[in-house]
């Protein structure tokens, strides 16, 4: 049997501060690769999909045949797309690229075409209950060398706001055993954002990129209003201004504002972004390696986006494990149209379970030069952090109607 034959597949679910699902594919000769399969709040569905429905089909196949295995899992399932399926395929894909690069004795970015830049610019999260708190956090990021900073502040009159945490560097939205409930009022939120950006430009100047996440909460015309309000402060982007099921909705935003638009952290295939890209309705595509079918599929999305001068800005919150972060950096370093990478650092417990080669310096991250993805999982340590049920919050308007969280 060839040395690269898949001999064993394990799904490891652990919670070193938050839940992660990790796939480990082991070849006949002991070479192995790891993949991230974490789907926040729905982790066990992907773990079961992999263990019960994918693993039996892969034993005995050649780990080198990445494209064939991708097509086999995508077309072969008959039921296409969806976050559970695409996260499972992504985990397999990451693990196979890890194996291929390890066997080649190269860091993965070399197989993807080599470094197209010196590093991947990342943005950090400056959060605070008040504008002053957020500006203080932003100054801290700027002092650490960040060139891009996301700004989120509490909204006066709302008890709890998306993106505002008690901890300075970690934001863990999946905060409860059953979904916690938050309240939302667009008329309170909308006027609160421009003053935040005005204060940030006063404090930080114009040589730093400023970003903001709307988290799918507005209608297209409300998003257009926000975009216009922020134009004087030249944001790098506003993110997820509206839910993107209706891709045409972005036409309306575009008609009104030149503020750049980023979208796609919940996308799971190229089809979610096709119209947005082809009609040039967005500026940054945020699909990630874990939720959008792995490196193989994300390269396809990036290649389509590149035709229209749309750049990447991949999701990188703490629910994307260090395995995804490593994969995102190899991908980002190698493609022509990299824009920025989100980076919310993990807890020490998470970093201990997933030893990794990637590093931060001067506002940029580099995947490192270890063969493969350059990230591993300490399975014995992972076992000491068992899975704990954790849900994302839900959001209601002040009259009790369900809204987008």
Catalytic residues: 162, 215
If the CB atoms of residues 31 and 269 are measured against ligand GCO, the closer one turns out to be 269
319 binds, among ligand GCO, Mg ion, none (CB under 5 to 8 A by kind): ligand GCO
40 binds, among Mg ion, ligand GCO, none (CB under 5 to 8 A by kind): ligand GCO
If the CB atoms of residues 54 and 122 are measured against Mg ion, the closer one turns out to be 122
If the CB atoms of residues 238 and 357 are measured against ligand GCO, the closer one turns out to be 238
**Contact yes or no for 238/257 (Cβ under 8 A):** no
Q: What DSSP assignment string belongs to 247-295?
A: TTHHHHHHHH--S-EEE-TT--SGGGTHHHHHTT--SEE---TTTTTHH
**Contact yes or no for 292/37 (Cβ under 8 A):** no
Total of residues contacting Mg ion (CB under 5 A): 1
If the CB atoms of residues 87 and 269 are measured against ligand GCO, the closer one turns out to be 87
Nearest approach in angstroms of CB 314 to ligand GCO is 10
Q: In angstroms, how far is the first alpha carbon of the chain from the final one? A: 50
Nearest approach in angstroms of CB 213 to ligand GCO is 5
x/- site string to Mg ion, residues 186 to 225, per CB under 5 A? ---------------------------x------------
Run of H or E residues at 230:
helix 220-230
For position 36 contacting Mg ion by CB under 5 A, the verdict is no
Residue 206's Cβ-count burial label (10 Å; 0-12, 13-18, 19+) is exposed
List CB contacts of 139: < 8 A, sequence separation 6 or more: 203, 204
- What residues between 214 and 253 interact with ligand GCO by CB under 6 A? 215
Least Cα distance to 244 among 226, 271, 225 occurs for 271
Q: List the one residue from 40, 127, 247, 269 that touches ligand GCO (CB under 6 A).
A: 40
Q: Of 58-66, 112-120, 315-323, 357-365, which segment contacts ligand GCO by CB under 6 A?
A: 315-323
Total of residues contacting ligand GCO (CB under 6 A): 10
With vertex at residue 134, the alpha carbon angle to CA 129 and CA 136, rounded to the nearest 5 degrees, is 125
According to DSSP, residue 34 is labeled E
Q: List the one residue from 33, 124, 173, 332 that touches ligand GCO (CB under 6 A).
A: 173
For position 376 contacting ligand GCO by CB under 6 A, the verdict is no
CA distance 391 to 16: 16
Q: List the one residue from 36, 43, 93, 213 that touches ligand GCO (CB under 6 A).
A: 213
β 284-285/261-263 pair status: parallel
Run of H or E residues at 94:
helix 83-104
43 binds, among Mg ion, ligand GCO, none (CB under 5 to 8 A by kind): none
List CB contacts of 71: < 8 A, sequence separation 6 or more: none
For position 342 contacting Mg ion by CB under 5 A, the verdict is no
Q: What DSSP assignment string belongs to 287-351?
A: --TTTTTHHHHHHHHHHHHHHTT-EEEE---TTS-HHHHHHHHHHHHHSTTEEEEE--PPPHHHH
Nearest approach in angstroms of CB 315 to ligand GCO is 6
36 binds, among Mg ion, ligand GCO, none (CB under 5 to 8 A by kind): none
Residue nearest to Mg ion (CB): 213
Residues lying near Mg ion in the complex (CB under 5 A) are found at 213
Residues lying near ligand GCO in the complex (CB under 6 A) are found at 40, 173, 213, 215, 265, 315, 317, 319, 342, 392
């Amino acid at each position: 049997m060839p040395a690269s034959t898949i001999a064993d597949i394990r799904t490891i679910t652990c919670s070193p501060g938050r839940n992660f699902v990790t796939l480990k594919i082991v070849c006949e000769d002991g070479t192995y690769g790891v993949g991230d399969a974490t789907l926040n709040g729905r982790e066990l569905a992907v773990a079961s999909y992999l263990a019960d429905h994918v693993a039996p089909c892969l034993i005995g196949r050649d780990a080198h045949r990445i494209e064939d295995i991708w097509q086999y899992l995508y077309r072969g399932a008959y039921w296409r797309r969806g976050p559970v399926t695409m996260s499972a395929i992504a985990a397999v894909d990451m693990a196979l690229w890890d194996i291929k690069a390890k066997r080649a004795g190269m860091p993965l970015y070399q197989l993807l075409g080599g470094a197209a830049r010196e590093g991947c610019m990342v943005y950090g999260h400056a959060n605070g209950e008040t504008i002053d708190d957020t500006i203080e956090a932003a100054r801290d990021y700027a002092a650490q060398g960040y060139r891009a900073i996301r700004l989120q502040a509490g909204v006066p009159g709302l008890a709890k706001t998306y993106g505002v945490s008690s901890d300075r560097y970690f934001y863990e939205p999946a905060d409860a055993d059953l979904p916690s409930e938050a309240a939302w009022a667009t008329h309170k939120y909308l006027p609160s954002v421009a003053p935040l950006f005005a204060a940030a430009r006063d404090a930080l100047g114009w040589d730093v990129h400023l970003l903001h996440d709307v988290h799918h909460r507005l209608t297209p015309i409300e998003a257009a209003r926000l975009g216009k309000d922020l134009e004087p402060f030249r944001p790098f982007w506003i993110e997820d201004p509206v839910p993107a099921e209706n891709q045409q909705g972005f036409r309306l935003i575009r008609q009104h504002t030149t503020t750049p638009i980023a979208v796609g952290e919940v996308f799971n295939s190229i089809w979610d972004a096709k119209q947005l890209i082809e009609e040039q309705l967005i500026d940054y595509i945020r699909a990630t390696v874990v939720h959008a079918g792995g490196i193989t599929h994300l390269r396809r999305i990036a290649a389509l986006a590149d035709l229209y001068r749309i750049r990447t800005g991949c999701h990188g919150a703490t629910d994307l494990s260090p395995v995804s972060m490593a994969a995102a950096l190899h991908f980002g370093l190698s493609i022509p149209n990299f824009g920025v990478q989100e980076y919310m650092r993990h807890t020490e417990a998470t970093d201990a379970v997933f030893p990794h080669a990637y590093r931060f310096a001067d506002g940029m991250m580099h995947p490192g030069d270890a063969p493969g993805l350059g990230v591993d999982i300490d399975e014995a340590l992972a076992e000491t952090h068992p899975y704990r049920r954790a849900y994302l919050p839900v959001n209601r308007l002040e009259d009790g109607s369900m809204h987008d969280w």
